[in-house]
Amino acid sequence: MLIAKKTLCIDWRSVIYRLFKVLHLSISSHVVSILGYRESAHEGRPMLDESLTDEYIKRTPRSKKLFEKASKYSPGGVSHNIRYFRPYPFFVKKGKGSKLVDVDDNIYTDYWMVHMAAILGHAHPEVVKAISRQIPLGFHYGTANEVSIDLAEIICKNLPSAEMLRFCNSGLEATSYAVRLARGYTGKKVIVKMIGGWHGGNELQVAVTPPFEKPESKGILEEQSKFIVPAPFNDINGTASVIREHSGEIAGIIAEPMLGAGGCVPAEMEYLKYLKEVADENDALLIFDEVITGFRVSLNSAQGYYHVNPNLTTLGKVIGGGLPIGALAGENEAMKFADHTHGTGKGEYVWIGGGTFSMNPMSMTAGLATLRYLVQNPKVYECIGRMGETARNRIDKEFADRGIPTKSIGIGSLFATHFLREEGLNVKNATDKSNNTLKEKQFEYHFRLLLQGIFFLPEHEGAISAVHDGKDIDKLVEASGMIAEEMHE
């Protein structure tokens, strides 16, 4: 068992890093990877204990080499910032069922599950069978295909508020089109979004991570973000005051029914009902971003779980069965504004289009096989939901027994364990998460799990799939108990 040294020891890697900076020496990605230190992302945080990082480096030599090579060709060695974690991510060569195998032959039970998309696990036989039939028929035709109608039909039959939809290639595209449709339909400009809400790297990338008032990226225009107005999630009074301030200007309110990247924080029922009422009162469209929760928390998605129907819904992840997809679904009235066939001229309908690879038969087929499986086996939701509940309760108990206050939250199969600064603190929105929880402890927990062959993308939520079982959860709980012991020392 790895023994933790206390984190108060001198952080020599940060000292060397700063020395390089002071001397104006260029810091190559190689140095960064060896130091396991990255200033912008980790400024002011205690480093992981060296013995943990060393153990990881010892077990993953090929991944280390690949990361160094990847860093030559991609900034930061990745194409999605969240996939980087220090000292470097492991590189995967195979995913099957609930397991990932890395290039050094380490096996991990996966709880990240393709950004939570893989509800049936990796390479599920039904999905493999379906796409294998499609492969010899061609990957994409760039024109209409029948399987896309079948997928649209199964989505609209199960998603309570959906009458029509348009497919695109990612959740980001879906939320971008939702914003445009809301503005086109209402003739107004302001979109209210939740603090901590992540909708992809588009103009909605405002107030996602703390400090929330600071721009999320260089290159985001102030002129554009001034129309994206952040409101506090699960806070009716706070949201009401934001809405009052922009009365008459609001085109749409976009909210995840469970803040995903913002901490796996479920909405309170009353809050969603309030959003629905206030959107109606303001002649604005309510948009649920169900890219994570769609067909994940139930067959009727989060809107079915909460019994609150939005005007528009954005989807992605699960509906693609592991292949790239996005969709914007909604009521006929709003969706018909995107119908370009009704003789209206340029500028008279809302242009929302899915791009070259929209509706490609590979994604459509994988998505259809997945949703059909879920429709035919609705017990999957009960089963993964129960495992989620068990994991939340038992992990918290393991830590509480060692005097470490944690709060595991989520809905059904989705969950995140937060390390509280003090017993009894709340995590009901992203500001609470920022103020009341210890991110570095969560990182340490996830990193220690990794060393026990259990993969949570550090500092992110976990997802249970149909191929996880009770034994996996027992192992996760046992590992959490051992880690609690180590972290308590």
Ligand X SMILES: Cc1ncc(COP(=O)(O)O)c(C=O)c1O
Q: Closest approach of Cβ 164 to ligand X, in Å?
A: 20
Q: Closest approach of Cβ 256 to ligand X, in Å?
A: 5
Which residue in this structure is represented by tokens 């971008």?
Answer: 176
Q: Which is nearer to ligand X, 406 or 413 (CB)?
A: 413
172 binds ligand X (CB under 6 A): yes
Are the CB atoms for 377 and 232 separated by under 8 Å? no
Q: Closest approach of Cβ 170 to ligand X, in Å?
A: 3
Indicate the pairing of strand 462-463 with strand 414-419: antiparallel
Q: Closest approach of Cβ 261 to ligand X, in Å?
A: 6
Rounded CA-CA distance 329/314 in Å is: 6
Rounded CA-CA distance 88/84 in Å is: 6
Residue 226 neighbours by CB under 8 Å, 6+ apart = none
Count the residues of the shown chain that bind ligand X, applying the rule CB under 6 A.
Answer: 16
Are the CB atoms for 401 and 391 separated by under 8 Å? no
Rounded CA-CA distance 73/379 in Å is: 45
Q: Closest approach of Cβ 196 to ligand X, in Å?
A: 11
With CB atoms as reference, the residue minimizing the distance to ligand X is: 171
Q: Closest approach of Cβ 278 to ligand X, in Å?
A: 21
198 binds ligand X (CB under 6 A): yes
Rounded CA-CA distance 292/302 in Å is: 9
Q: Closest approach of Cβ 49 to ligand X, in Å?
A: 30
User: Residue 356's CB: how many other CB atoms inside 10 A?
Assistant: 9
Among positions 170, 176, 239, 365, the unique one binding ligand X when judged by CB under 6 A: 170
Q: Which is nearer to ligand X, 171 or 458 (CB)?
A: 171
Q: Which of 486, 472, 305, 487 lies closest to 391, judged by CA?
A: 472
Q: Which is nearer to ligand X, 326 or 367 (CB)?
A: 326
Task: Single out the segment in contact with ligand X by CB under 6 A; choices: 195-203, 218-226, 302-310, 388-396.
Answer: 195-203
DSSP 8-state class, residue 98: T
Which residue in this structure is represented by tokens 């696990």?
Answer: 121
Q: Closest approach of Cβ 254 to ligand X, in Å?
A: 9
Task: Single out the segment in contact with ligand X by CB under 6 A; choices: 127-135, 194-202, 238-246, 443-451.
Answer: 194-202
Kindly provide the b/e burial profile for residues 93-102, where b requires at least 16 CB atoms within 10 angstroms of the residue's own CB: eebebbbbeb
Among positions 87, 260, 354, 361, the unique one binding ligand X when judged by CB under 6 A: 260
175 binds ligand X (CB under 6 A): yes
Are the CB atoms for 337 and 185 separated by under 8 Å? yes
Task: Single out the segment in contact with ligand X by CB under 6 A; choices: 141-149, 256-264, 297-305, 455-463.
Answer: 256-264
292 binds ligand X (CB under 6 A): yes
Q: Which is nearer to ligand X, 36 or 230 (CB)?
A: 230
Q: Which amino acid makes up residue 422?
A: E
Q: Binding mask 316-355 vs ligand X (x if CB under 6 A, - otherwise)? A: x---------x-----------------------------
200 binds ligand X (CB under 6 A): yes
Q: Which is nearer to ligand X, 228 or 438 (CB)?
A: 228
Q: Which is nearer to ligand X, 292 or 457 (CB)?
A: 292
Strand partners, 463: 414
Q: Closest approach of Cβ 251 to ligand X, in Å?
A: 18
Task: Single out the segment in contact with ligand X by CB under 6 A; choices: 148-156, 164-172, 327-335, 437-445.
Answer: 164-172
Q: Which of 457, 476, 460 lies closest to 468, judged by CA?
A: 476
Q: Closest approach of Cβ 293 to ligand X, in Å?
A: 8
Among positions 102, 110, 289, 444, the unique one binding ligand X when judged by CB under 6 A: 289
256 binds ligand X (CB under 6 A): yes
Could you tell me the sign of the dihedral formed by the alpha carbons of 218, 260, 122, 63, in that order?
positive
Q: Closest approach of Cβ 460 to ligand X, in Å?
A: 10
Q: Closest approach of Cβ 320 to ligand X, in Å?
A: 9
Q: Which is nearer to ligand X, 292 or 479 (CB)?
A: 292
115 binds ligand X (CB under 6 A): yes
User: Half-sphere exposure (CA, 13 Å, Cβ side) for 208?
Assistant: 16
Would you list the DSSP string of 283-336?
T-EEEEE-TTTTTTT-TTHHHHHHT---SEEEE-GGGGTTS--EEEEE-HHHHG
Per the rule left: phi > 0, alpha: psi between -120 and 50, beta: everything else, 48 is beta
Q: Which is nearer to ligand X, 48 or 366 (CB)?
A: 366
Task: Single out the segment in contact with ligand X by CB under 6 A; choices: 5-13, 168-176, 181-189, 329-337.
Answer: 168-176
Are the CB atoms for 468 and 443 separated by under 8 Å? no
Strand partners, 193: 230, 254
Rounded CA-CA distance 15/17 in Å is: 5
The contact set with ligand X (CB under 6 A) reads 115, 170-172, 175, 198-200, 256, 260-261, 289, 291-292, 316, 326
